[in-house]
Amino acid sequence: MALAEKFGPLETHAYVKGLDKFPEIVRIIKAEDEKNQWGENWHSDVSYNIKPTKAVIIKSIKIPPVGGDTCFSNMELAWETLDEKIKKKIKDKKAIHSSLGAEFFIDNYKKMEGNGKKNYDEYSNEHPIVRTHPETGKKILFVNWTYTQRIVGLDKEESDEILKKIFDIKLGLN
């Protein structure tokens, strides 16, 4: 906990109940009623929060023989390799990040017990698609397959098409 506090104030998860003595610590384990392994797909943790989380600390205690890995993506490189036409189209746009992406993991995430908070029907916020990293000053993309639902100001078809292109570029960088 002391290490995490060096990065800023600790947070509790809106949907996942933390440990009794340390509500900021969440066990990541697949329960029988869950469709997919938590974190199995590309995502930015709780990107639907009002203020994006600065950092997440992960400690592995028991890892399954298959699928227990964690991967990281270079979203600065994703921005740099993006087609110039798409860059122009999205540079000042925002995207909606929605908690409904959790339905990838569990059929009814609203039944989850989350740290004494109400489990919302949908909890979403808009965030700039292109952000400036606070330490490097470089442009980075802030979208992810799980929680980014659509680009504000574009019709669904165009939004889906652009997001797919971004997601495809990101997959090619792994």
One digit per residue, pLDDT tens: the chain, 174 residues?
899 899 888 888 777 778 889 988 887 776 666 555 555 566 677 787 788 877 778 787 877 777 666 777 888 999 999 999 999 999 999 999 987 766 655 555 555 545 445 544 567 889 999 999 988 999 999 999 888 999 999 999 999 999 999 988 765 555
Q: Six-digit token pair at 108?
A: 């009814």
Quote the pLDDT of residue 70: 73
Cα 115 from Cα 50, distance rounded (Å):
18
Report yes or no: 68 and 60 within 8 Å, Cβ to Cβ.
yes
Q: Which residues of 93-126 are buried (b: 16+ CB within 10 A; e: fewer)?
A: bbbbbbbbbbebbbeebbebebeeeebeeebebe
| Tokens read off for 26 | 């969440």
> Taking Cα atoms as reference points, which of 43, 38, 35, 37 lies closest to residue 16?
38
For the chain, domain boundaries: 2-173
- Is residue 112 within 8 A of residue 106, CB to CB? The reply is yes
User: What number of CA atoms fall less than 13 Å from residue 133's CA on the CB side?
Assistant: 13
> In a 3-state reduction of DSSP, which class is residue 120?
coil
- CATH 3.60.130.10 for domain 2-173, yes or no, is yes
Extended beta strands in the chain, E state: 94-98, 124-128, 130-132, 139-141, 148-151
Q: What is the CB neighbour count within 10 angstroms for residue 140? A: 17
- pLDDT tens sequence across 146-163: 889 999 999 999 999 999
Dmax (CA) for the chain in angstroms is 50
